[in-house]
């Protein structure tokens, strides 16, 4: 089969499109013929070596496709079934062997591109707003990179839950997208200091929660945007990792809470995984969530997809097609 592989970590030119043996499903696994592949920022971290993986490896954590074959001991899944999955490495390929308990069966209303666009980022937005910091009507939140993949979904869910969204984005075009998604206030943080902006918008009070996926460039000021006893949810590092933090800072800035959550821990059980995925699919079917697919690249052009994500020019989801 054709796959994209990384033999040496580094720049996007290390994503090599090549022939490699197709996997065969082990006990409890399913062979999936991949139809659409979701590109996520975590793929960039692995490619760069920021997150460790033994080389060579096939990057990619998200895909949708058709069940092609079953390993021993798999029940309840039939060849020909339409499925999707997230957080299983190796999706930049024509086939993947995936643990059957990680697969979500697609409802009729969800096509392959939609599934590989919303599963990982949608379940992330779901757990952040429903479990890490359960938003209530009237909660005030700050979300960075609000026109990105996770950002647009998180903004829509927060607005749906009745929370007041303050969003940051880097361009005016992205500001329009964040507003359309339901943000009440948008700060273009490439030209305006977002800390001052949040103080002004909240009359000096600060927000209940900050969802920060940008990391190094925003972390310190994100803490300064919180109310006393507010929560900083650091869930990514698009601008680079945050240096070590002295826990006393949480006290001096107002008895703050800091958490660094990951999707795997919030989809740890089959029941939780299925519930989050089905909520996302239902919200799409009901029109609560609108999906924005930015670009679809052929699998052989995975490096262009990474360049787009890293250039900050993507708006919404980036996909690969095998
Ligand atoms: P995005 O579509 O959000 O793309 C990244 C965005 O980050 C850019 O568009 C840009 O928006 C912003 N950004 C700010 N500074 C930089 C920089 N120096 N370089 C590049 N981008 C920058 O990506 P995803 O939706 O795939 O992921 C968003 C974040 O969420 C990532 O950090 C990812 O790791 C994290 N994540 C975490 C999960 C978890 O469970 N912990 C799960 C899924 C994703 P702008 O131009 O508006 O600043």
- Domains, the chain, with CATH or none: 2-120+281-321 (3.90.180.10), 137-260 (3.40.50.720)
Q: Give the model's pLDDT for residue 134.
A: 98
C-beta of 163 in contact with ligand 1 (< 6 A):
no
Q: Give the model's pLDDT for residue 48.
A: 97
| Neighbour count for residue 203 (Cβ, 10 Å) | 7
Q: 4 - beta bridge partners?
A: 17
Mean pLDDT in residue range 275-299: 96
What is the rounded distance in angstroms from the CA atom of residue 28 to the CA atom of residue 161?
38
**111: CA distance to ligand 1 center in Å?**
25
Tens digits of per-residue pLDDT, 115-154? 999 999 999 999 999 999 999 999 999 999 999 999 999 9
Q: Give the model's pLDDT for residue 147.
A: 96
Q: Which atom of ligand 1 is nearest to the CA of 41?
A: 26
Mean pLDDT in residue range 268-293: 96
Q: Give the model's pLDDT for residue 308.
A: 98
Tens digits of per-residue pLDDT, 160-219? 999 999 999 999 999 999 999 999 999 999 999 999 999 999 999 999 999 999 999 999
Confidence band, pLDDT 50/70/90 cuts, at residue 291: very high
C-beta of 180 in contact with ligand 1 (< 6 A):
no
**67: CA distance to ligand 1 center in Å?**
31
Tens digits of per-residue pLDDT, 252-277? 999 999 999 999 999 999 999 999 99
What is the rounded distance in angstroms from the CA atom of residue 123 to the CA atom of residue 129?
10
Q: Give the model's pLDDT for residue 56.
A: 97
Tens digits of per-residue pLDDT, 17-75? 999 999 999 999 999 999 999 999 999 999 999 999 999 999 999 999 999 999 999 99
* CA-nearest residue, atom 9 of ligand 1: 312
What is the rounded distance in angstroms from the CA atom of residue 212 to the CA atom of residue 193?
15
Confidence band, pLDDT 50/70/90 cuts, at residue 302: very high
**108: CA distance to ligand 1 center in Å?**
30
Q: Give the model's pLDDT for residue 78.
A: 94
Say if CB 20 and CB 3 are below 8 A apart. Answer: yes
Beta-carbon contacts of residue 131 (< 8 Å; ≥ 6 apart): 266
Q: Give the model's pLDDT for residue 292.
A: 92
In the chain, the DSSP E strands lie at 2-5, 16-19, 29-39, 62-70, 82-86, 95-99, 104-105, 140-143, 164-169, 185-188, 207-212, 226-234, 257-259, 293-298, 317-321
C-beta of 262 in contact with ligand 1 (< 6 A):
yes
Tens digits of per-residue pLDDT, 41-51? 999 999 999 99
**216: CA distance to ligand 1 center in Å?**
12
Q: Give the model's pLDDT for residue 242.
A: 97
Q: Give the model's pLDDT for residue 111.
A: 97
What is the rounded distance in angstroms from the CA atom of residue 295 to the CA atom of residue 51?
25
pTM confidence score: 0.97
SS3 content of the chain, % helix, strand, coil (to 5): 35, 25, 40
């Amino acid at each position: 089969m054709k796959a994209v592989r990384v033999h040496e970590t580094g720049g996007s030119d290390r994503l090599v499109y090549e022939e490699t043996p197709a996997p065969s499903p082990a006990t409890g696994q399913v062979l999936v013929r991949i139809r659409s592949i979701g590109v996520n920022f975590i793929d960039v971290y692995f490619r760069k070596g920021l997150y460790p993986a033994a080389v060579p490896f096939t990057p990619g954590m998200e895909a949708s496709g058709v069940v092609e074959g079953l390993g021993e001991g798999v029940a309840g899944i039939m060849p020909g079934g339409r499925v999707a999955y997230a957080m299983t490495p190796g999706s930049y390929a024509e086939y993947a062997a995936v643990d059957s308990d990680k697969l979500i069966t697609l409802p009729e209303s969800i096509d392959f591109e939609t599934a590989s666009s919303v599963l990982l980022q949608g379940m992330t937005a779901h757990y952040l707003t429903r479990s890490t910091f359960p938003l209530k009507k009237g909660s005030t939140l700050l979300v960075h990179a609000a026109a990105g993949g996770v950002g647009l979904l998180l903004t829509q869910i927060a607005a749906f839950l009745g929370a007041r969204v303050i969003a940051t984005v880097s361009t005016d075009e992205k500001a329009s997208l964040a507003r359309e998604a339901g943000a009440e206030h948008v700060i273009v943080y490439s030209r305006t200091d977002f800390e001052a902006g949040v103080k002004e918008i909240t009359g000096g009070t600060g927000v209940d929660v900050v969802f920060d996926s940008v990391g190094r460039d925003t972390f310190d000021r994100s803490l300064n945007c919180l109310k006393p006893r507010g929560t900083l949810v650091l869930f990514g590092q698009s601008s680079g990792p945050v240096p070590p933090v002295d826990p006393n800072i949480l006290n001096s800035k107002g008895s703050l809470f800091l958490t660094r959550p990951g999707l795997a821990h919030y989809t740890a059980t089959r029941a939780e995984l299925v519930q989050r995925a089905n909520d996302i699919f239902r919200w799409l079917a009901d029109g609560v969530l609108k999906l924005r697919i930015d670009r679809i690249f052929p699998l052989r052009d995975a490096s262009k997809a990474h360049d787009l994500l890293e250039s900050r020019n993507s708006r919404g989801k980036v996909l690969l097609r095998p």
